[in-house]
Amino acid sequence: MTRKISFLSLFAATSCLPLAAVAQAPRVTAPARPKLVVVIVIDQFRNEYLTRYAPFFGDGGFKWLMRNGANLSNAHYTYGTTYTGPGHALILSGSYGHTNGIIGNRWYNRATNRAESMFFDPNAKLLGVEAVPKDDDTSPRNFIGSNLSDQLLLSNNFKSKAIGVSLKDRAAIMLAGKLGKAYWYHEKAGGIISSSYYMTDLPAWVRQFNALKIPDSYFGKTWTKLLPEAAYSISRADDTPNELTTEVTGRTFPHLLTDKAGKPTATYYEGFTATPFATGYQLQLAQLAIENEQLGADEYPDILGISITPTDIAGHAFGPDSHEVQDIIVRLDGQLANFFSYLNRRFRNNEVVIAMTSDHGACPLPEYMQSLGIEAGRIKKKQISDAMEAAITARFGASNPDTKWVTTLEDPGVFLNQSLIAERKLDAAEVQRVAGEAAMKVKGMAAYYTRAQFLSGQLPPNRWASFFEKSFYPERSGDVLLQTKPFYFWGSWGERDEGSTHGSPYEYDTHVPLILAGRGIRPGNYATAADITDLAPTLAAVLGINAPAGNEGRTLHEILTTDERR
C-alpha cells in the first residue's frame, strides 16, 4: 500500500524547527508537487473523436478527464512527419526532429547502407524474446537531448522513477527517455519484453504478468460490437472496400480472433493488438507497474507513460471512420474510467497529474474519399523513383550500370546517390531540384523541399516549408522531402491497396487532444492555440524541474494554478 504522508508532516519530521515556526515561514520551501505524473498517449487519435463519440461515453472516462482538467481543444503538431516515433519523441521532450534527431519511424543509414528503424541499436539486445533484432527498436540511443523522464531523474539523483509502457517499442522507449525503464509487447513473445539497454533481466512482476498469458486467453473469442447497431450509423459502412482483411480478425464484425495454425502464433499475437482486448491488457500492465514499482509512493515524484496502441493498429487496418475504431474508442472510454477510478482509490486528491494526448491523427481511406468525389489517393514509390531516375538521367546522363541515381525512399525522404553525384562532380543542389521537379509530375504530389534549401535557409516562405524544416536533420534526412496533397499518402501504406495511414502536415493528422488534470492544473476549456511541444515544459513547471534540454515549447501558464506559476 502507498504510504500517505502529508507534506507538512514530512517537513515536521525532518526539521529541527518547532512546528509553529514552520507554520509562520510560508513559501521558504518548494510547494508540494504531485507524487505521480501519468502521461497517456493514445496512438492515432484525432481531437474530433472526443466530440464525435461523446454520445457513447460514460461519465468516468474522457468526460471525467475533460470536466476535471484543462482541455486544450486547439492543440496541434506543427511539423511534416506525424508518425508514432517522432510524435512520442516530441511529447515528453518538447522538441521536433530538427533538434532531437527523430525525423521518422525509419530512415536510410548512409553508414550501414540500409534503412533502419529509428531506435535500432546494434549494441542492445531484446530481453524476453528469441528474436534477431535487425529491424526492431532496441534503445533510445538515436534520440538527441533529454526528455521529461530524464530531467526528473536527474533532478534528484534517481530518487524518482520513470517508466514507459506500450504495445509498441518506440512508444514505450520514448516515454521512458534515456534514463527511465521501458516495457513493450513483442508478437514473437506474445508478451511484454524490454531491452538490455535498460536492465539485465525482466523483473519478476513482468515475468509473472507474462505467465498469465492474457493474449492467449482471447484466442477463439469473438469481438462483437459494444453498442446497439444504430449507434454505428455515425461511421461509414462496416464492410467498406479497401479495409484490410487481416488474417486474425477478418474485415467485418463479428471478429473471430483466430490463427490458421489453430493455436496462437506470432501472427495471432500481432493481430491481437488491433482489438479492444489489447487496450485492457495494456492498462492492466500499467496498474501492475504502479504497484510493483511503488510509483507515487514517496515524496519524490514519478512518471508513468502509457501509450495505447490498438487505436492505431485498427485505425490503419480498417481506417478511421470505421465501426472498429468507434468500438475500440468507446470501449477505451470505459477502460480509462476503471483506470482513473483505480488512481482515485490509490492516491489522494491532488497527488496525481494526468496528461492525455496523441501522437497523430489519421487520413481517411483514400478510396472512400474518392467514392465521395473528393480527390485522394495512394502514391507508389516506384512512380516517384521512376520519374526521378528518368529526369536525372535525361539531364545528367545514365548512372553507373550497378547503381541508380535514387538510392531509396523512406517517406517523406528521397535518398539520392550522393557518392555518384560527387564522383561525377555534379551540383548536388541542382540534382536535388531536378529530382524534386520530377516528383511533382506524379499525381497527388504538392511540393518538395531539398537538402540544399534546408542547409542554405532558402526555403519558400510558407507554412508548409516551416513544417518540413522541423522534420529535417542533416545527418539523417533524405536529399529531397516530398509533401503530398491532402488525402494522398505514400510509404508502406501507399504500397498496399488496403488500409490507411498518417504522417502528413494536414489537420486530420495534426489536431490531437491535449488535456491535463490534477495537482497544479486549473480546469477549464482553453481554445487558444497550443503546440504539442508545450506539454513537456508545462509538466516540468508542475514538477518544479528543468524542462528537457531541447525544449521548443511554451509553458502553458494560463492553465496553471497560481502556486505553480511562480
Chain residues in the site for Zn ion (CB under 5 A)? 312
Nearer to Zn ion, 271 or 550 (CB): 271
Nearer to Zn ion, 312 or 321 (CB): 312
Judging by DSSP bridges, how do beta strands 352-357 and 36-42 pair with one another?
parallel
DSSP letter assigned to residue 250: B
Nearer to Zn ion, 302 or 312 (CB): 312
Contacts of residue 20, defined as CB under 8 A and 6 or more positions apart, other chains included, come to none
Comparing CA positions, the residue from 354, 352, 348, 344 lying closest to residue 70 is 354
Q: Which residue is nearest to Zn ion (CB)?
A: 312
Residue 374: all three cell numbers together: 473528393
Residue 282: all three cell numbers together: 495494456
Tell the smallest beta-carbon distance from residue 149 to Zn ion (Å): 23
Nearer to Zn ion, 312 or 479 (CB): 312
Nearer to Zn ion, 127 or 512 (CB): 512
Tell the smallest beta-carbon distance from residue 492 to Zn ion (Å): 10
Please answer whether residues 140 and 173 qualify as being in contact, where contact means their C-beta atoms are separated by less than 8 angstroms: yes
Is 373 exposed, middle or buried, given 0-12, 13-18 or 19+ CB atoms closer than 10 A? exposed
Tell the smallest beta-carbon distance from residue 105 to Zn ion (Å): 8
Tell the smallest beta-carbon distance from residue 168 to Zn ion (Å): 9
Please answer whether residues 519 and 354 qualify as being in contact, where contact means their C-beta atoms are separated by less than 8 angstroms: no
Tell the smallest beta-carbon distance from residue 190 to Zn ion (Å): 21
Tell the smallest beta-carbon distance from residue 117 to Zn ion (Å): 14
Nearer to Zn ion, 101 or 315 (CB): 315
Contacts of residue 124, defined as CB under 8 A and 6 or more positions apart, other chains included, come to 133, 138, 139, 141, 195, 196, 197
Which whole-number Å values give the CA distances from 123 to 100, 120, 140, 141, 455, in the listed order?
21, 9, 11, 10, 32
- Which region holds residue 113: left if phi is over 0, alpha if psi is between -120 and 50, else beta? left
Nearer to Zn ion, 102 or 152 (CB): 102
Nearer to Zn ion, 150 or 312 (CB): 312
Tell the smallest beta-carbon distance from residue 48 to Zn ion (Å): 17
Which whole-number Å values give the CA distances from 231 to 42, 143, 331, in the listed order?
23, 43, 13
Name beta bridge partners: 226. Answer: none
Comparing CA positions, the residue from 27, 520, 564, 34 lying closest to residue 299 is 34
Contacts of residue 278, defined as CB under 8 A and 6 or more positions apart, other chains included, come to 167, 215, 272, 309, 310
Tell the smallest beta-carbon distance from residue 412 to Zn ion (Å): 15
CA distance 129 to 111: 28
CA distance 539 to 353: 9
Residue 246: all three cell numbers together: 487481416
Three-state DSSP at 163 gives strand
Dihedral of CA 125/126/130/134: which sign?
A: negative
Nearer to Zn ion, 273 or 555 (CB): 273
Residue 133: all three cell numbers together: 533484432
Please answer whether residues 88 and 511 qualify as being in contact, where contact means their C-beta atoms are separated by less than 8 angstroms: no
Tell the smallest beta-carbon distance from residue 323 to Zn ion (Å): 19
Tell the smallest beta-carbon distance from residue 235 to Zn ion (Å): 19
Residue 61: all three cell numbers together: 472516462
- What amino acid occupies position 110? R
Tell the smallest beta-carbon distance from residue 502 to Zn ion (Å): 6
Nearer to Zn ion, 357 or 407 (CB): 357
Nearer to Zn ion, 35 or 168 (CB): 168
Task: Tell me which residue has cell 518540413.
Answer: 468
Name beta bridge partners: 352. Answer: 36
Please answer whether residues 342 and 68 qualify as being in contact, where contact means their C-beta atoms are separated by less than 8 angstroms: no
Nearer to Zn ion, 83 or 468 (CB): 83
Which whole-number Å values give the CA distances from 288 to 24, 347, 350, 387, in the listed order?
41, 15, 21, 53
For 451-509, where are the E strands, in sequence order?
Answer: 480-484, 488-489
Nearer to Zn ion, 136 or 312 (CB): 312
Please answer whether residues 115 and 135 qualify as being in contact, where contact means their C-beta atoms are separated by less than 8 angstroms: no
Nearer to Zn ion, 294 or 492 (CB): 492
Tell the smallest beta-carbon distance from residue 267 to Zn ion (Å): 19
Tell the smallest beta-carbon distance from residue 43 to Zn ion (Å): 6
Tell the smallest beta-carbon distance from residue 180 to Zn ion (Å): 23
